[in-house]
């Protein structure tokens, strides 16, 4: 529901700090470990969870997320199990917003209406579907909005002033500003350019602006968080999982812990963002 998302950003605004939005791949490397990671995220300081739904052909993602999706699918993960994971998570956490991030085909095959019913019931608050631009709003965005599920859109450096209003129409929850052209996991661009872009988007919307693509360290999180309402970290978290696995890509005793430790560091970065910015 949109309420969890709106409440979260209202609380953060009152606290005067940006959100830490963390992406991880559902089912990587297996269901149980992945669920433990999901539960560990809010404890480590994540404010919003992006739950990655694996797809065989992730055209907008870099190698790290593609490999994570392959590991997940190989172990029998599916869109249905992605929803199961959210449902299991909601047993112990009813406040952290969950956004499913993925590609359209698995949802299309699941059936749009059935998927939205099940997503709402599983406690999903929003969707980021990479290959559904504003031109395709009738497919999923409008049906999702009718159920009070947020449809969060990516805006990019190629989204110019003329196009921005079209992209923002029907967007809700927050706006995800992709800080560069390219795929997930590339290098971080100049923070001052990002601040300018955030200001530009803010002129057209009251929604929170979260910035992602290329954020890898607590220092990055701090720099981006100085101007944005939220910082999105994905590939760096997926890499924490990948490097903790054994040679057969199985989870080890370190897997959940290494993600938690890393996210804790990011949380510190985000929490110091405005303090430094105010100096």
Partner 1 sequence: MNETPKPNSFRSGPDEDGRFGIFGGRFVAETLMPLILDLQAEWEKAKTDPEFQAELQYLNTHYTGRPSPLYFAERLTAELGGAKIYFKRDELNHTGSHKINNCLGQILLAKRMGKTRIIAETGAGQHGVASATVAARFGLPCVVYMGATDVERQAPNVFRMKLLGAEVRPVTSGHGTLKDAMNEALRDWVTNVDDTYYLIGTAAGPHPYPELVREFQSVIGKETKEQMMAAEGRLPDMLVAAVGGGSNAIGLFHPFLDDDSVQIVGVEAGGKGLDGEEHCASLTAGSPGVLHGNRTYLLQDGDGQIKEGHSISAGLDYPGIGPEHSWLKDVGRVEYVPIMDDEALAAFQMLTRTEGIIPALEPSHALAEVIKRAPKMGKDQIIVMNLCGRGDKDIFTVGKILGMGL
Could you list the active site residues? 50, 61
Does the protein bind partner 1 through residue 2 (CB under 8 A)?
Answer: no
Does the protein bind partner 1 through residue 231 (CB under 8 A)?
Answer: no
Element spanning 231, H or E:
strand 230-233
Kindly state the number of chain residues that form the binding site for partner 1, as judged by CB under 8 A. Answer: 45
Exposure of 166 by Cβ count < 10 A (0-12 exposed, 13-18 middle, 19+ buried)? Answer: middle
What tokens were used for 126? 């929003």
131, 143, 245, 272: which one binds partner 1 (CB under 8 A): 131
Nearest to 5 by CA among 23, 19, 15, 24: 19
Does the protein bind partner 1 through residue 152 (CB under 8 A)?
Answer: no
Segment contacting partner 1 by CB under 8 A, of 3-11, 129-137, 194-202, 223-231: 129-137
Does the protein bind partner 1 through residue 110 (CB under 8 A)?
Answer: yes
Segment contacting partner 1 by CB under 8 A, of 134-142, 144-152, 199-207, 252-260: 134-142
182, 202, 204, 272: which one binds partner 1 (CB under 8 A): 182
Shorter beta-carbon distance to partner 1: residue 178 or 259 = 178
Residues 6+ apart with CB under 8 A from 138: none
Name the minimum Å distance from CB 117 to partner 1.
17
Shorter beta-carbon distance to partner 1: residue 187 or 278 = 187
CA–CA separation, 184 vs 78, rounded Å? Answer: 22
What tokens were used for 212? 């992602």
Segment contacting partner 1 by CB under 8 A, of 38-46, 76-84, 231-239, 245-253: 76-84
Does the protein bind partner 1 through residue 195 (CB under 8 A)?
Answer: no
CA–CA separation, 103 vs 231, rounded Å? Answer: 21
What tokens were used for 175? 């706006």
Does the protein bind partner 1 through residue 43 (CB under 8 A)?
Answer: no
Does the protein bind partner 1 through residue 17 (CB under 8 A)?
Answer: no
Name the minimum Å distance from CB 264 to partner 1.
31
| Other beta carbons within 10 Å of 109 | 10
Name the one residue in this structure whose structure tokens are 């480590």: 44
CA–CA separation, 193 vs 181, rounded Å? Answer: 13
Shorter beta-carbon distance to partner 1: residue 12 or 79 = 79
Does the protein bind partner 1 through residue 153 (CB under 8 A)?
Answer: yes
Does the protein bind partner 1 through residue 70 (CB under 8 A)?
Answer: yes
What tokens were used for 180? 């560069």
From residue 31, give the alpha-carbon distance in Å to each of 149, 236, 252, 268.
25, 20, 14, 28
CA–CA separation, 183 vs 74, rounded Å? Answer: 23
Segment contacting partner 1 by CB under 8 A, of 18-26, 57-65, 231-239, 251-259: 57-65
Which positions lie near partner 1, rule CB under 8 A?
54-60, 62-63, 66, 70, 73, 78-80, 103-110, 130-136, 153-160, 163, 167, 178, 181-183, 186
């Amino acid at each position: 529901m949109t309420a969890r998302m709106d409440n979260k950003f209202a609380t953060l605004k009152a606290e005067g700090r940006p959100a830490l939005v963390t992406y991880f791949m559902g089912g990587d490397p297996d269901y149980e470990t992945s669920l433990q990671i999901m539960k560990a995220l809010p404890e480590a300081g994540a404010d919003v969870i992006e739950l990655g739904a694996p797809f065989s052909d992730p055209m907008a993602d870099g190698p790290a997320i593609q490999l994570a999706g392959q590991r997940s699918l190989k172990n029998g993960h599916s869109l249905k199990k992605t929803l199961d994971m959210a449902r299991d998570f909601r047993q112990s956490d009813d406040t952290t917003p969950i956004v499913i991030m993925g590609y359209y085909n698995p949802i299309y095959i699941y059936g749009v209406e059935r998927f939205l019913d099940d997503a709402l019931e599983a406690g999903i608050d929003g969707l980021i579907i990479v290959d559904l631009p504003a031109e395709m709003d009738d497919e999923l965005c409008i049906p999702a909005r009718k159920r009070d599920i947020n449809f969060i859109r990516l805006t990019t450096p190629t989204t110019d002033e003329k196009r921005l209003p079209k992209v923002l129409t029907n967007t809700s929850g927050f706006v995800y500003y992709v800080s560069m052209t390219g795929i997930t996991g590339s290098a971080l661009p100049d923070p001052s350019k990002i601040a300018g872009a955030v200001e530009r988007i803010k002129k057209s919307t009251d929604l929170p602006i979260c910035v992602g693509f290329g954020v890898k360290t607590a220092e990055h999180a701090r720099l981006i968080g100085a101007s944005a309402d939220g910082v999105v970290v994905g590939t760096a978290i997926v890499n924490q999982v990948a490097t903790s696995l054994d040679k057969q890509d199985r989870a080890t005793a370190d897997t959940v812990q290494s993600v938690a430790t890393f996210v804790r560091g990011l949380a510190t970065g985000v929490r110091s963002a405005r303090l430094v910015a105010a100096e």
